Structure 1
Amino acid sequence: MVDAAFGHPRLAAVYDPLDPDRGDLDAYLAMAEEFGARSVLDIGCGTGVFALLLAERGITVTGIDPARASVDVARGKPGAERVRWLDGDAGDLPPMRTDLVTMTGNVAQAITGPQAWRTTLRGAYEALRPGGRLVFETRDPARRVWEEWAQWTRETTYRMTDIPGVGHVETWAELTDVSLPLVSFRGTHVFAADGDVLTSQSTLRFRERTEIEQDLHEHGFVVEDVRDAPDRPGSEFVFVARRDTAEPVPPGIL
């Protein structure tokens, strides 16, 4: 099920102005340059911020996301014609051979179901050329960040943002459930223009490093590196996995 923060048209339209600092994408841009990527598939592209940054650099980009409202926002941005936008998940990809596949931000953790995760890894593998790389980040469960999130209340997370053409939007977040490895939280948005109140329920899956390494291996990847996230040092794993030339062993056989 698509999170309303990305799937509801009114919330998708204000996502970028409510979260304008995307300095976390700098590391991904640097890796695209490091690996000499001339083509990139961005899984979970959302409103297209990263895809458009890549396209500005002359890279051929495909962005895919199951949240149609977010992709519609991306399609309406300047330069959007330079990106191929797709509605769906990694199981809906057309044939391609790309240099790099990315999942930025919370994308990997937002894929909570085991089957959906396997579909994503298989789709990424099939989209890559032999020797191409998959790069994504995920929080380290050992840091137990949900204990910090337990302090989230309306009072501690409240913000009022004035968005041009929209007006004032009040927002806050609250942790709603910790049933490891799943952690859920709710976001509330109040639009001052008409008093409309919209909520979004988000769930993230916290996977152990060894679990992810095993999943990648089973789907034909070689883990080249596990890096630190520059924007959250000591709190996240950034996986760099290369598509092997041999066919992967189907999950469950090993």
Structure 2
Amino acid sequence: MRDPDAAFSDPRQAVLHDVLDDDRSDLDAYVALVEEVRARRIVDVGCGTGSLAVRLAALGLDVVGVDPAGASLDVARSKPQAERVTWIHGDATDLNGRVGGADLVVMTGNVAQVFVSDEDWAATLRSVAAALRAGGWFVFETRRPEARDWETWDLPPTSVPLEDGRTAVVTRTVTRVEPPLVSFESSAAIGPDVLTSTSTLRFRPRSEVEHDLRAHGLEVDDVREAPDRPGKEYVFVCRRGGGDRGFDRGSLPA
């Protein structure tokens, strides 16, 4: 697996993440889905600073959060309810032999797109399937390449107040578009310090994602819109074969 981006692995930047991305209403749909599928054991792959993991733990659920960025996990461990979560410093392959029988595995945000190589993506799907019980659910989102949303990503210098009274001036610039890969650079200037991070995401078409899921024993039950980004993302609702569905698909949130 490639190393995590500096935005998550640099301690100076990891502590800024929740401030710069403070609207996590996108997680509401995941909480609703956890309730609908009656999941009790949940694995959050690429949990980052733990916003979803601690929220689910506060509901009394058994939650594992795994992320390769140690600095992000340090932020996650400082949050209320963090002691209720099992944190694993690593990627999905580090679940192998350590976590099994999960009712639900989730990947929120851009996590599914950081696996730019076929090998890393395949290893992740194998590990997700192994972590699930028979009939367990795998839910994740990925941006639709045909929406070309990267054309809206450039951000001119924008001031963001920090909790300690300082101000960060943040920017984002798309630096390369070579489908299926898109690269961009983000920066945060705080006083004399300029913190930068370079990221590359892979935009897989729906047909490719569905093929890859089937190849790893993950059946696509539904593909839907992300409530906070209509028309821009696919949300894949999948399950590992071999178990009872446990509920009517029609009860899933739209």
Q: Following TM superposition, where does structure 1 have runs of at least 4 consecutive aligned residues deviating by more than 2 angstroms?
A: 146-149
Counterpart of 1:63 in structure 2: which amino acid?
A: G
Partner of 1:170: 169
Partner of 2:107: 103
Displacement of 1:197 in angstroms is 0.9
1:58-207, aligned counterparts within 5 Å?
58-93=60-95, 94-149=98-153, 152=154, 156-165=155-164, 167-192=166-191, 195-207=192-204
Partner of 1:25: 27
One of 213, 223, 228 as aligned partner of 2:225: 228
Aligned length: 239
After superposition, the CA RMSD in angstroms is 1.2
Partner Cα separation in structure 2 for residue 77 and residue 26 of structure 1: 18
One of 205, 211, 215 as aligned partner of 2:212: 215
Counterpart of 1:58 in structure 2: which amino acid?
A: G
One of 1, 6, 9 as aligned partner of 1:4: 6
Identity %: 52
Displacement of 1:168 in angstroms is 1.3
* Mean Cα deviation higher: 25-34 or 160-169: 160-169
Displacement of 1:34 in angstroms is 0.9
Q: Is there any run of 5+ residues in structure 2 with no aligned partner, and where?
A: 244-254
* Mean Cα deviation higher: 156-165 or 73-82: 156-165
Displacement of 1:96 in angstroms is 1.8
- Paired residue secondary structure (1:230): coil
Give the TM-score taking structure 2 as reference length: 0.91
Q: Is there any run of 5+ residues in structure 1 with no aligned partner, and where?
A: 247-254
Counterpart of 2:159 in structure 1: which amino acid?
A: M
Partner of 1:250: none
Counterpart of 1:164 in structure 2: which amino acid?
A: E
Counterpart of 1:137 in structure 2: which amino acid?
A: E
Counterpart of 2:167 in structure 1: which amino acid?
A: H
Residue deviations 1:134-161, cap 9 Å, x none?
0000111111122333xx2xxx532212
Partner Cα separation in structure 2 for residue 147 and residue 174 of structure 1: 10
